[in-house]
Every structure is written in structure tokens, then in C-alpha cells.
Amino acid sequence: MQLSMAVLLVSLATFVSTLMGGLFALRFRDHLHLILGFSGGAVLGVVLFNLIPESTALTAGRFDMPGTMAVLALGFLAYMVLDRAVALQGRHTQRRGALGAGILCVHSFLDGFFIGLAFKVSVTVGTVVAVAVLVHDFSDGINTVGLILKSKGSAGKALRWLLADAAAPVLGAASTLLFTLQGPLLGLGLACFAGFFLYIGASDLVPESYHQHAKGLTTVMTMLGAAVMFAAIRLAGS
């Protein structure tokens, strides 16, 4: 019961984070690169310092390292396809902008799903993953609003899609309370999620933060994000 409550409380925090990111995008645009830079570093930090070590530890004895890394690669490639589908659908009409926002909602559902999955490993792993998702969901809210506005949708329509995207991780996290996944299979699930996060950080957040604002401070924020996650993971494990 306590674990279920923790998962649901964290998923509700993702709702707030996504919502605040979208509202930020509606009002402020000049400082987004710093937030995206920090988010990219934090997400990569979770992959390198937490998800990969945890997944390999859980799969040891059942699956070898190449097999676990193959699942990570599969997660990376699957998320790449999802991400490029958003890019393709978000370029032109309002209808396509809505479809792109819908795909982002699916992705947000998966964020919540993997929060719940991480809590099945331990409260520590769940907390670390939740922090990374919270940071990432802030930029998710920005992207959802951006897709609708760039496709000539109204602010009201952007707000409605933002609410749907914010609710998606809550549903994703709640869905994990309906089943049990343990041991090596849980490790493979974390490896897949590591692939998702690796793509999000290395191919999306970090390049996007530096694309239009190639400043030293942006790089510092990325390094700071990774350092903060490293410190948080070490403290949580001590």
C-alpha cells in the first residue's frame, strides 16, 4: 500500500511538472535553452549512473551483457522512430500538430509506466528515475505547447493538449500497480527505458538546448545536470 501511494504521488508530481513546462513555454521563451541543457545532463546522468548499472545487476546470471545492451539499443531505436514520427507529423497542418501532440501523450504514458516499474526495483531506483522524469516532463510540456502553436493551433487548444499530456504519466504509473514484474525481466525493462532516456538526452535535449543558443553557459548547465544526478544517486545509495 505504501509503495502504491508513493508511485501515485510521484506520478501526480509529473502532472504538475508537465503542466508548468507548458505554461512556461506560453509565457517565457528566452531562457528555455538553459532548462533544456540542464534536463539533458540530468537524463544522461540517470542512464549512465543508475539505469544501466541497475539493469545489468538485475539481469546477471540470466542474460549476458550483450543481450541486456541489445534491449537498451532496441529501446533507443524504438524511441527514435517515435520521436521522428512526432517531427514528421508536427511540421504542417493543425491536424498533424494534434497528432504529434498525441504521440507525445503516448510517450508521457510510458514515462509514468517506467516510474512505476522502477519503484518495483526499489524506492531508491524509483526516486532517481522519478526525478529524471520530472525534469524531462517539464520540457515535454514545452514541446507539447510548441507543436500546437507551430501548427497554427490556438492557445486554448495548446492548453487542452497540455492537460492531456500532463495526465498521461499518471495513468502510466497507475497501470503498473495491476501486475508484478521481478528479477531479470524487470532488469530488461529498465534497460529498455535506459535506451529511451539515452535517446532523449543525447539526441533531443542536449542538441536542442545548444542549437539556437550556442553559449558556454548552456554547456555548463548540461554538465551541472549530470553532476547533480550523480550526487543524488550516490547519496541515495549510501
pLDDT at 73: 95
Which pLDDT score is estimated for 205? 72
* pLDDT number for residue 68: 93
Q: How far apart are CA 103 and CA 83, in angstroms?
A: 8
- For residues 151 and 90, the answer to whether their CB atoms sit within 8 Å is yes
pLDDT value of residue 1: 47
What the block records as the C-alpha cell of 235 is 547519496
- Tens of pLDDT along 52-102? 988 898 888 888 889 999 999 999 998 888 777 766 654 545 455 566 667
Q: Closest Cα partner for 11 from 103, 118, 94? A: 118
- Residue 184 CA to residue 174 CA, distance in Å, equals 22
Those residues of the chain that have pLDDT short of 50 are: 1, 90, 92, 94
Residue 71: the pLDDT is 94
| Model pLDDT, residue 30 | 61
Instruction: State the residue range of the domain holding 165.
Output: 2-25+32-237
Cell for 166? 500532463
> For the chain, what is the domain count?
1
pTM: 0.67
Helices (H), the chain: 2-27, 32-46, 52-59, 65-89, 94-121, 123-150, 155-175, 183-199, 206-211, 216-237
Q: What is the mean pLDDT of the chain?
A: 76
Q: Nearest 5°: CA angle at 224, between 221 and 230?
A: 150
